[in-house]
Amino acid sequence: MEIKSWIHAFRLRTLPLTLSCIGMAGFLAAAAGKFNALIFALSCLTTIFLQILSNLANDYGDYVNGADHVARKGPQRAVQSGAIAVGQMKNAVILFSILCLTSGISLLLVAFGVDWNSLIFFFVLGILCIAAAVAYTVGKKPYGYAGWGDVSVLIFFGLVGVMGSLYLFTREIDWSTILPALSCGLFSIVVLNINNIRDIESDKVAGKNSIPVRIGKENAVRYNWFLLVAGLLAAIVHSTLNYQNLFQFLFLLTVPLFIRIGVAVSEKPSEELDPYLKQMAFSTLLFVILFGTGNLLR
């Protein structure tokens, strides 16, 4: 039973979204002829550890700070339900921080060797990623409770996740990739926004001032549409600027999926939104696969 509780606490359904930014970087590297399978594998492993760390820290932090209470609409968390003790969850957060650090250092050594400037810069960036994963809901002033979660997701699931990972392959910055990086970041914010719309009433009670709490559900739904449209537009602009053939627009096949999710968020009550978190995560991964495949075929 405890193993099942831990697997539930890991929230494996969030991993497709996490792997989307690494997948985007991998496809872009392959299109540039600089793909490295070991770098890709270690990037995936490090990112998985980071996402599980974030999920565990969120479970722990929301319980300690009172966001996980009986009025919450979403599925019960592990600490909230009593399946995992608070102390056990805190130890798991520490363990996965160490795993992130170990995997991340291995990744940097493979990517950069003894290039100390790059090693030090990305090591510091990695520490910031770990700190961001934990500090979202943990601590005296978690930034997720102040409404900064969306900015963090854009940075770490978008710009850093894609462009930073791509640098590990290519050792150079290609500023045109900021557009697909923004697509990944914006779609990742959609997942967070749906989650926050679902929890809007319980977050109000707990003092968690997410964007939906700050602007209200009606405006949060409009914001959701903006994120979806902006994410698609960023990819369209990138493909148009680098146009060679129609395969580069394969990702447009995901538009009906995003529309379906947008309509559901607009029309369904908060307590029925939970399935669309998973759907958005998988839709984003499919978007990345089609976008990347189109770039390889151009």
| Nearest residue to 92 (alpha-carbon basis) of 5, 170, 179 | 5
| Nearest residue to 6 (alpha-carbon basis) of 70, 81, 89, 87 | 89
Torsion angle defined by CA atoms of residues 109, 114, 115 and 118, in that order, rounded to the nearest 10 degrees: 30
Token pair 């680098």: residue: 242
Torsion angle defined by CA atoms of residues 226, 229, 231 and 237, in that order, rounded to the nearest 10 degrees: -130
Signed CA dihedral, 143, 145, 148, 153: sign only: positive
pLDDT of residue 76: 63
pLDDT in tens, the chain (298 residues): 478 888 888 888 889 989 999 999 999 999 999 999 999 999 999 999 999 998 888 888 777 766 554 454 556 667 877 778 888 888 999 999 999 999 999 999 999 988 899 999 999 999 998 898 888 878 777 888 888 889 999 999 999 999 999 999 999 988 899 999 999 999 999 999 999 999 898 888 878 899 999 999 999 999 999 999 999 999 999 999 999 999 999 999 999 999 999 999 999 998 899 999 999 999 999 999 999 999 998 7
pLDDT of residue 77: 64
pLDDT of residue 23: 97
User: Helix/strand/coil (H, E, C) string of 269-290?
Assistant: CHHHCHHHHHHHHHHHHHHHHH
pLDDT of residue 21: 95
Identity at 44, one-letter amino acid code: C
